[in-house]
A and B are shown apart, each in its own frame.
Chain A
């Protein structure tokens, strides 16, 4: 076989029904880049419309892209692609794991792994380079994820990387995760693994990912060192620093003199973290104090994260108090992984059992440990808001059998005692009782429990569309830009292209300058809470963000860091480099590609996902069927006296229906979709080389008139 660069050249296919294992050539999918793009292509070609996510006919792809495994900064994530159980039309979507799984997968020789069919009994998949076997999993079925990973590693060797589901996935909860190491795949694909009777995939790879131009890759890495910032590509520190012209207290660049990894032995000072100093990049983000407050400093052993990423956004803590609750003291997580379980304790986590001022940290750590081991997903924090709504509005009382309701220790919730979390998560993950349906996801539970408009339209519930997913950097992030981005997915949008742009922590005038360079006018970006009406430059910003999101999930690069809009260096005029993806792609694969060509390939993936939605919703009218936002978003705020605060006055971030309608049309136009319905037109599909998609849709009468 000839040498391939970047790509390993093989996609591993496993039919769990027949036990057949084979490989196919990656390059037949090259127009779809890798990772997410390949996953959607397989769903289009091979999974018929109307398939339930838990049907054997559904397929699940574990994808990596051509840059994964080469050491390109922040290239360690795994993109998992399948139908989404929480989606009311079972739309396609991706979930993502950090960690080290995809790198090991590529070193074993595979760009992607695709599972299909259903095993007649519980199994796990063992991959050691080109040796692939399907193994009996009865001895690990029912185990928590951490024990599962350890038990498989005891069989395969300590070097193995394992992706596994917990009881939540086994029980086919819609809101369940696949987990590898200390990273989980938010998105809800754990149940798809469970439906196929697959407990885990273990991989060991002794091979490599070849690089066409090693010298160029190393030079690009050196260039990246001047551009990369802190977590979420924030490029100004959280505090005044001798090197920094700007600072912002909300920055995740928290490292500074006097701030430590307090539980390291000896404690490690994060220090000044000069932007030119390569050897402190990994100390810039002291994420424990950002996520959990200053009290978390003393519990911090170190930071962690994913393969080949110098930015360490996971905080890894030793919380000795956990042992009192029968848990091991070490806990690692980041962002919502900590915040969501805490959200279930909506009355706060108060002093209990003598933990005093740190009881919130202890309670948060208990919740994170439970959710991670059981394999529960939070629907981007929705689970906490749902518990609050259902408890306070009497929904639980109405829908749970009286005996079940009485058996739930609500008094612990009332008291703020996190032992409520132990009871709650175990009930739900093990599908015990009616309450477990809270993990069906908002769209399904609204039907089952008869929830009306008040549920969907309550601002506090933060539900974006009737698709059942909540805000994730939506209207609070650059107004219509974030709001429109949130309309195009089948789960929380989790697009960080725009979020990292506006979150750079640089002054708004610098951001506006870069917005003008990119989108043609500084009006593409409004200052926070000073929103103006929709314009076409904002539509370009939306298009850019959606395209780069799909690009990163396909390459695979972390969209929580990429793209590199800004740099911390004044000497670079704070400019990053938005051609870096293409430059790396060229250096790694040896085939020259321009940023425009690469973005065009990613645009193909955006439109393919759009076509998948047309197919699964069986309508071209996505504007109304898919993209329509809930009323609270377009309802003006009221002041204390009950007087309406009109949209687009400073201080309010509420959107307006007519303006959103206009914005949707502008974005459709940017992508060459039908401006009325938002469905891809035949000519656009053909221009993107999606002729088979056009033909399939035309045969089903799903091409807009």
Chain B
């Protein structure tokens, strides 16, 4: 099973730059950085003529603890009833169902002792990392994904979304999902800073961490995060 670290190394280098790098490059950055913080995400021309996006860091991210998860999947409907007006596992922005029975690796000959309900009972839920350089947002051809002004979550503007699925293809974690019924992208929007899934979890297996802390957890031990397990 690949660890988070392996997965990150395999991830293509981001085409955009962090805010600090950006400041070094352009030297005009202070005002721009404030603008990014205020607006969430701005697009700027560099000296060498490239277009880059500057993303405000998200306020936090949701982490799933496989050791506490009891697999009720109430988080999935808490997400989609609030945000989509319907119950659905497929478009839920937290993904528990897909690893539920047989773990992230799927069915193997050793399923009875592997991750999942049919194995060792270890349930690996996956959550959006609200990446510093979100592949979904970078891939969107119409700029429909931006950082939310309040939470910094990378959110989809469904009015602008054209349903091309570029974000779904781009996300290295398979989190952005095109709703087959609406042909609009769905991804974690942090519910205005009070995530519905976290509020609903009956064992506290989901927690909303400040972004830096979440990153540390996600990139550290694989005992904590579903996404890294």
A279 touching B203 in the complex, CB below 8 Å, given contacts A107-B90, A217-B81: yes
- Judge whether B215 is part of the interface by a CB distance below 8 angstroms: no
Q: Report yes or no: A266 in contact with B70, Cβ–Cβ below 8 A.
A: no
* Residues of A close to B82: CB separation below 8 A: 214, 218
Bound: A268/B203 CA distance, A = 10
A280 touching B203 in the complex, CB below 8 Å, given contacts A150-B118, A153-B101, A207-B90: yes
Q: Report yes or no: B88 in contact with A159, Cβ–Cβ below 8 A.
A: no
Q: Pick 26 A–B contacts, CB within 8 A, sort by A.
A: A100-B100, A103-B89, A104-B89, A149-B118, A158-B103, A159-B97, A159-B101, A205-B90, A207-B181, A208-B88, A211-B87, A214-B86, A278-B199, A279-B202, A280-B202, A282-B202, A283-B203, A301-B122, A307-B72, A308-B72, A310-B74, A312-B70, A312-B72, A316-B121, A318-B121, A328-B112
Shortest beta-carbon distance from A322 to chain B in Å = 11
Bound: A312/B74 CA distance, A = 12
Contacts between the two chains (Cβ within 8 Å), count: 166
Contact of A330 among B69, B101, B113 (CB under 8 A): B113
Shortest beta-carbon distance from A207 to chain B in Å = 6
- Judge whether B37 is part of the interface by a CB distance below 8 angstroms: no
Q: Report yes or no: B77 in contact with A154, Cβ–Cβ below 8 A.
A: no
Q: Report yes or no: B204 in contact with A107, Cβ–Cβ below 8 A.
A: no
Bound: A211/B86 CA distance, A = 5
Q: Report yes or no: B70 in contact with A69, Cβ–Cβ below 8 A.
A: no
Question: Which residues from 105 to 137 on chain B have a C-beta closer than 8 Å to any C-beta of chain A?
Answer: 106-107, 111-113, 117-122
A318 touching B120 in the complex, CB below 8 Å, given contacts A280-B202, A310-B72: yes
Q: Report yes or no: B73 in contact with A308, Cβ–Cβ below 8 A.
A: yes
Bound: A304/B90 CA distance, A = 21
* Residues of B close to A333: CB separation below 8 A: none
Q: Report yes or no: A71 in contact with B77, Cβ–Cβ below 8 A.
A: yes
Question: Which residues from 54 to 97 on chain A have a C-beta closer than 8 Å to any C-beta of chain B?
Answer: 69-71, 73
Q: Report yes or no: B86 in contact with A208, Cβ–Cβ below 8 A.
A: yes
Q: Report yes or no: A69 in contact with B71, Cβ–Cβ below 8 A.
A: no
Q: What is the interface of chain B mostly: helix, strand, loop, or mixed?
A: loop
> Known contacts A206-B91, A208-B90; can you find 11 more A-B pairs with CB under 8 A?
A103-B73, A149-B101, A208-B87, A208-B88, A214-B86, A218-B196, A265-B67, A301-B120, A302-B70, A308-B77, A328-B112
* Residues of B close to A158: CB separation below 8 A: 98-99, 101-103, 106-107
How many of chain A's residues have a CB under 8 angstroms from any CB in B? 59
Bound: A332/B68 CA distance, A = 17
Shortest beta-carbon distance from A542 to chain B in Å = 33
Bound: A484/B192 CA distance, A = 53
Bound: A305/B111 CA distance, A = 19
Shortest beta-carbon distance from A328 to chain B in Å = 4
- Judge whether A281 is part of the interface by a CB distance below 8 angstroms: yes
- Judge whether A617 is part of the interface by a CB distance below 8 angstroms: no
* Residues of A close to B202: CB separation below 8 A: 278-283, 310-312
* Residues of B close to A176: CB separation below 8 A: none
Question: Which residues from 312 to 337 on chain A have a C-beta closer than 8 Å to any C-beta of chain B?
Answer: 312, 316, 318, 328-330, 332
Q: Considering residues B69, B70, B111, which has the most beta carbons from chain A within 10 angstroms of its beta carbon?
A: B70
Bound: A649/B73 CA distance, A = 49
Q: Report yes or no: A305 in contact with B72, Cβ–Cβ below 8 A.
A: yes
Name which residue of chain B comes closest to A270, CB basis: B203
* Residues of A close to B113: CB separation below 8 A: 328-330
Bound: A619/B202 CA distance, A = 50
Q: Report yes or no: A107 in contact with B98, Cβ–Cβ below 8 A.
A: no
* Residues of B close to A614: CB separation below 8 A: none
Bound: A265/B81 CA distance, A = 32
Bound: A8/B103 CA distance, A = 29
* Residues of A close to B223: CB separation below 8 A: 265
